[in-house]
Amino acid sequence: MKRLSFKLLITLLGVILMTVLSCSDDDKPNDVQTEAPLLGQNFDFVVDGNRVTFTTTLSGNVWFTNLATEADHTVTDGSVAINLPLAGVYEFTCSRLADGVTLTSDVFDVVIEQDDLDFLNEGMWYYLSGGANETKTWRMDINEDGKTVYFDGPLYYSGLDGNPYWAWDILEEELPVVINGTEMSSFFNWSPDYASNTWIMAPKNYGTITFNATAGTISTDRFGEICNSTFAFDPETMKLTIPSCIIPIDTGRVNEGQFSDLQNLRIFTLTEHSMQIGVKRTYEDGEDSPWTHVYNFVVVGHEYAREEFTYSEPVNTSFTQEDLVGTWKFADVAQDWIGWRAEGDWGTIIEPRRLNGWSTRAEMVATLASWGAEDAEDIFNDGDTREFVFNADGTCVLAGNDNTYSVSDGVITFSEPLDEEFSLVWIGLSGTEVKVLDVVNDDDGNPYSYDGIWIGQQNDQNKESKAVKLVKVED
């Protein structure tokens, strides 16, 4: 047998190693997940007059950025289209998110040959800005006297437990939609009227925001501090981007520290004379509390006409002392707030109504807990142990406390002030007078029938009562 020489063996091994390495390099696929987007390869754009359509074959989170306005335009189903009203050269980039890393293309130019402002004179652009070569100024719908002119209040709430931002990408014409098994016919889970909820924010002038869509600029005036910025608006998604200024928002209970992003906003509804802008809230008092606050705006200088209401406490004046005699306990749904009867000067009548739609204790506990109530279930369970005994001779024993009482025109008067007998979660009756309430409708305005009685007192200065529900114990 012939032996291979040492030099020949080394030579052969070198050839084999080079071949392996060469094959490895040739066979290795391009790692597109780590490459920046490339114009003409995985994204492109077409200019049609003043409308620019960007397209991409990239999947996942992809967006195009106008470097002049700092506005991001997110791709949906492989494309996104925008309008650029003025002639000029605009610098853009394309970005994608890959494994938590943002990969951005080289800057590329989009050339617009001529001005075309016609699109500003119709639809949402017109509502927002007043049209081409015009400006339009908006303010939050509240003034220093606490008066609103169009909305019930300056701030509404949107979201659901487990899906707080469900409405962020849904347009008004798409409603109703089913979210987590719940049919949502409105963006809002609570639309508080300011007259009954003055705690929401202090009554004051919170400033203005002025849109100039022709120039693509906005100007805000917040408590005398002027800020100028570019802005971008997409009427297809109703997303509003303001990179350098903060819109007028309240600074008391809801402050800027609660929002991690005050630049990327969402217009929920927009008409010629009304606008609702949503801001994602991310925490409250240092605790995670995702939700959307929707601020209500009206047009400065427009004359609004609205119906004025007078309110009356809904006391059941036919309720007598004889009706009260017996032993009572808290109902399963033991508390709620009751809206007062409202009569408008245009003839509208809003009957007394429950302000929450709880039909079970579990629903009530879940809602109160989501609002921040602690130990709600334990409090109601403790309430189940209390009895309220009203005797025909005018004596009574309220959760173990002796007292006397009388009833006149639906008003129950005690000789000794109440202590904690009728206290539950954020609702406690005190003093010597409580009223038997005549609750006509449920929270949706439909007729409401019920066993037992609702007794309550005015909730601070609001046009509503804090109330507990009692049912009679069967003999």
Does 265 lie in the same domain as 139? Answer: yes
Q: Closest Cα to residue 202, out of 184, 180, 223?
A: 223
CATH of the domain at 59: 2.60.40.10
**Termini Cα distance of the chain:** 115
In this predicted structure, which of 127-141, 251-265, 383-397 has the lowest mean pLDDT? Answer: 251-265
Two tokens, residue 105: 């293309």
Give the integer Cα–Cα distance in Å for 59 and 130: 37
pLDDT band at 11 (very low <50, low <70, confident <90, very high): very low
Does 349 lie in the same domain as 291? Answer: no
Place of tokens 């009304």: 274
Handedness of CA 196, 198, 201, 206 (dihedral sign): positive
Mean pLDDT of the 329-341 span: 98
Give the integer Cα–Cα distance in Å for 247 and 220: 7
Does 329 lie in the same domain as 215? Answer: no
Does 412 lie in the same domain as 318? Answer: yes
Q: Looking at the domain assignment, is residue 203 inside a domain?
A: yes
**Which of 43-52 are b and which e, b meaning 16 or more Cβ less than 10 Å from the residue's Cβ?**
bebeeeebeb
pLDDT per residue as tens digits for the range 362-380: 999 999 998 889 999 999 9
- Chosen domain end from 299, 321, 351: 299
Residues spanned by the domain of 204: 121-299
Q: Looking at the domain assignment, is residue 168 inside a domain?
A: yes
Determine the pLDDT at residue 259.
Answer: 80
Helix (H, G, I), strand (E, B) or coil at 312: strand
Does 152 lie in the same domain as 36? Answer: no
Determine the pLDDT at residue 99.
Answer: 86
CATH of the domain at 168: 2.40.128.270
pLDDT band at 447 (very low <50, low <70, confident <90, very high): very high
Does 212 lie in the same domain as 125? Answer: yes
pLDDT per residue as tens digits for the range 278-320: 998 877 666 666 789 999 999 999 999 988 899 999 999 999 9
232 and 69 in contact (C-beta within 8 Å)?
yes
**In the sheet where 341-344 sits, what is the strand order?**
309-312, 341-344, 349-350
Q: Looking at the domain assignment, is residue 162 inside a domain?
A: yes
- Chosen domain end from 88, 112, 136: 112
Total domains in the chain come to 3
- Chosen domain end from 267, 299, 331: 299
For residue 253, pLDDT beyond 90: no
Strands 395-398 and 217-222: unpaired
Q: Looking at the domain assignment, is residue 15 inside a domain?
A: no
426 and 304 in contact (C-beta within 8 Å)?
no
306 and 193 in contact (C-beta within 8 Å)?
no
Q: Looking at the domain assignment, is residue 365 inside a domain?
A: yes
Q: Looking at the domain assignment, is residue 424 inside a domain?
A: yes
Q: Using CA atoms of 402, 403, 404, 405 in order, give the dihedral in degrees to the nearest 10.
A: -120
pLDDT per residue as tens digits for the range 393-416: 999 999 999 999 999 999 999 999
Does 337 lie in the same domain as 389? Answer: yes
Q: Looking at the domain assignment, is residue 87 inside a domain?
A: yes
Give the integer Cα–Cα distance in Å for 439 and 456: 11
pLDDT band at 163 (very low <50, low <70, confident <90, very high): confident
Does 460 lie in the same domain as 315? Answer: yes
Q: Closest Cα to residue 87, out of 230, 212, 211, 214?
A: 214
Residue 454 amino acid letter:
W
Q: Closest Cα to residue 321, out of 432, 418, 406, 428?
A: 406
pTM of the model: 0.67
In this predicted structure, which of 116-130, 178-192, 204-218 has the lowest mean pLDDT? Answer: 178-192
Determine the pLDDT at residue 72.
Answer: 83
Peptide bond into 176 cis (omega under 30): yes
Does 467 lie in the same domain as 412? Answer: yes
Does 130 lie in the same domain as 37? Answer: no
Contacts of 269 (CB under 8 A, 6+ apart): 172, 187, 275, 276
Does 345 lie in the same domain as 260? Answer: no
Q: Looking at the domain assignment, is residue 16 inside a domain?
A: no
90 and 110 in contact (C-beta within 8 Å)?
yes
pLDDT per residue as tens digits for the range 226-239: 999 888 898 989 99
Does 372 lie in the same domain as 258? Answer: no
pLDDT band at 3 (very low <50, low <70, confident <90, very high): very low
Give the integer Cα–Cα distance in Å for 261 and 41: 33
Mean pLDDT of the 412-432 span: 98
pLDDT band at 181 (very low <50, low <70, confident <90, very high): confident
